[in-house]
Each structure stands twice: as C-alpha cells, then as structure tokens.
C-alpha cells in the first residue's frame, strides 16, 4: 500500500538472498512494520514477541531489536510488565504531525517545481498519470486504491526533491499518520475535492511555479487533516 514498499517489485528475491544482505533485526522490523501498516496489528494492540519469533524462525533477540527500533521511530510503545503495543495517536499528536507534513510537502513541491525542464516534465507526466488513477478510484468508489495513489503522488515529489533527510523524515511522519488513517479508510472523506487539489498541484508544478506549488500543497495537507479530524470520534 505504501509507495516506498518495494517488496512487491522484487519477486525473484529469495529469502536467503535477503538474509545475506540484511540483518535479522532489520528483517524482523520490516515484517512487523508491514503488519502494522497493513492493519494486521491494529493501533492499541499488543505485539506478541514469541509469535513473531516462531513465525519467522528466529530467536527473540532480533525481535526485541526490531521492536526497540520501531519504538524509537514512534510506531510502538513498550509498557512495563505488559509488553510492546502499537501506538494509538491522540488528536493533538496527529494535528502536530499534519502541521509538519504540510511544511515538508510544501518544501518538496517547491524543490520539485524548480527541477530542470526535462526532469520537471517527466515528473509532471507521472503526477498526471497518478491523478488519473485517483480519478478512476473515485469512480469505482475504491477508497483503498485512492488512498494508496494519493500517497504515491506526494511521494513522487518527495523523491524528486533529492534530499535524503527530507525523505527519511517524511516517511516516518506518514507512517505514523497511517496508523490513524487505517481506522478511517471506510470514509471517502472528500475524494472528489482532493482529486481537484492534486490536479491543480500538478498543473502548478508543470508550469514551474514553485511558490504556488508550495502554497497549494500546504493548503491541501491542512484540508486533509480537517477532513480526517471531522471523521475521528472524540475520546
């Protein structure tokens, strides 16, 4: 579902080859992270260390290493004498993350709009194709497909910004926000208006208008948060 998940793009990669290139801790982390982001382990639920170890055929040492790394990224939390749980983000944290995401999206858009004309044209073509897929998802009432393509649209610009720190920070923020979005995917949440936003953003970028691209992206992210907040029950 997430645009930076490359697991499906390497079907010929064997487990043995993966193990040779990757530490056990990272393999376990990626496996558990995938389960969290796919909603197989839901926000607030406990992660069963023995089950993870048994399923992957590893000891509990790399499982603990993986969970410590996920805890440092803010996706899980360890509770004394209780275990490790997938975090459930509060409304204030979600708001703060969206504020930061608006800044990062705007920065990425400004950088992408300043690419050389050939690079900007290639990116614009990819963005237009993404908007087309979003429009198809709306017509099919396929909220999950729309959401996935929405993420891909933004990720295209983040990658185009060619800033490693931005890429890492943005990925971490969106993964956290994904936890709150998973409980709201049954809602269309203004998909038609959102598609219109994306089409306008793509047009501004194609024209090379960096300031407008930045402004449109920031406003779009703020509106996305408003839609999410309106569908999130108060605690």
pLDDT in tens, 170-209: 999 998 888 877 655 555 567 888 999 999 999 999 999 9
Across 74-78, average pLDDT? 91
Do both 78 and 132 map to the same domain? no
* Alpha-carbon separation of residue 66 from 26, 45, 57, 206 (angstroms): 6, 17, 14, 41
Q: Is the pLDDT of residue 155 over 60?
A: yes
H or E element, residue 76: strand 76-79
> What's the domain range around 69?
7-86
> What's the whole-number average pLDDT of the chain?
87
Decide if 2 is inside a domain. no
Same domain membership, residue 47 and residue 152: no
Mark whether 220 and 158 lie in a shared domain.
Answer: yes
Q: How far is CA 14 from CA 17, 207, 231, in A?
A: 5, 44, 42
What whole-number distance in Å separates Cα of residue 178 and Cα of residue 40?
A: 13
Greater confidence (26 vs 189) lies with 26
Among 37, 53, 86, give the residue marking a domain's end. 86
Q: Which pLDDT value is given to residue 9?
A: 39
Same domain, 206 and 114: yes
Q: Is residue 1 part of a domain?
A: no
**Number of domains the chain contains:** 2
Instruction: Pick 213 or 31 by higher pLDDT.
Output: 213
Q: Is residue 235 part of a domain?
A: no
Three-state DSSP class for 45? coil
CATH number at residue 103: 1.20.120.530
């Amino acid at each position: 579902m997430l645009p930076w998940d490359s697991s499906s793009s390497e079907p010929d990669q064997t487990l043995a080859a993966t193990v040779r290139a990757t530490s056990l801790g990272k393999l376990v982390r990626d496996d558990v992270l995938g389960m969290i982001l796919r909603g197989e382990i839901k926000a607030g639920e406990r992660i069963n260390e023995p089950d993870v170890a048994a399923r992957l055929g590893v000891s509990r040492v790399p499982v603990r290493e993986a969970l410590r790394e996920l805890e440092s990224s803010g996706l899980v939390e360890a509770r004394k004498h209780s275990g490790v749980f997938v975090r459930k983000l509060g409304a204030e944290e979600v708001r703060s993350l969206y504020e930061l995401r608006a800044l990062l999206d705007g920065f990425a858009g400004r950088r992408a709009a300043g690419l050389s004309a050939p690079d900007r044209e290639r990116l614009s073509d990819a963005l237009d194709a993404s908007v087309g897929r979003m429009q198809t998802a709306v017509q099919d009432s396929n909220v999950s497909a729309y959401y996935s393509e929405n993420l891909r649209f933004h990720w295209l610009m983040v990658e185009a910004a060619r800033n490693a720190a931005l890429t890492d920070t943005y990925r971490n923020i969106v993964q956290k926000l994904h936890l709150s979005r998973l409980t709201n995917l049954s809602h269309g949440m203004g998909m038609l208006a959102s598609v219109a936003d994306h089409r306008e953003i793509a047009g501004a970028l194609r024209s090379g208008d960096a300031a407008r691209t930045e402004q449109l992206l920031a406003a779009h992210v703020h509106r996305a948060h408003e839609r999410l907040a309106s569908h999130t029950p108060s605690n």
